[in-house]
Amino acid sequence: MIRLRSDEMLIVHGDSGTIGVVKSGVRKQFFVDTPGGEYVLALDTEDILVASAFGTGDRILKGLRCVLYIIRELGSPLIVLPADHPASARLKFVVSAGKRVVISCNIKPGTHPEQHLLCGMPEFEGVEFLAVEGGVELKGLETPSYEHISFV
- Parse the chain into domains and list their residue ranges: 2-150
The predicted structure's pLDDT at residue 107: 79
| Closest of 38, 30, 110, 41 to residue 71, by C-alpha | 30
* Structural contact between residues 108 and 83, judged by C-beta atoms closer than 8 angstroms: yes
pLDDT, position 8: 97
pLDDT at residue number 139: 97
pTM of the model: 0.94
Would you state the pLDDT for residue 108? 74
- Divide the 152 residues of the chain into consecutive groups of 10 and give the mean pLDDT of each group: 96 97 89 92 95 97 97 93 85 94 85 82 96 97 93 90
DSSP string across 93-106? EEEEEESEEEEESS
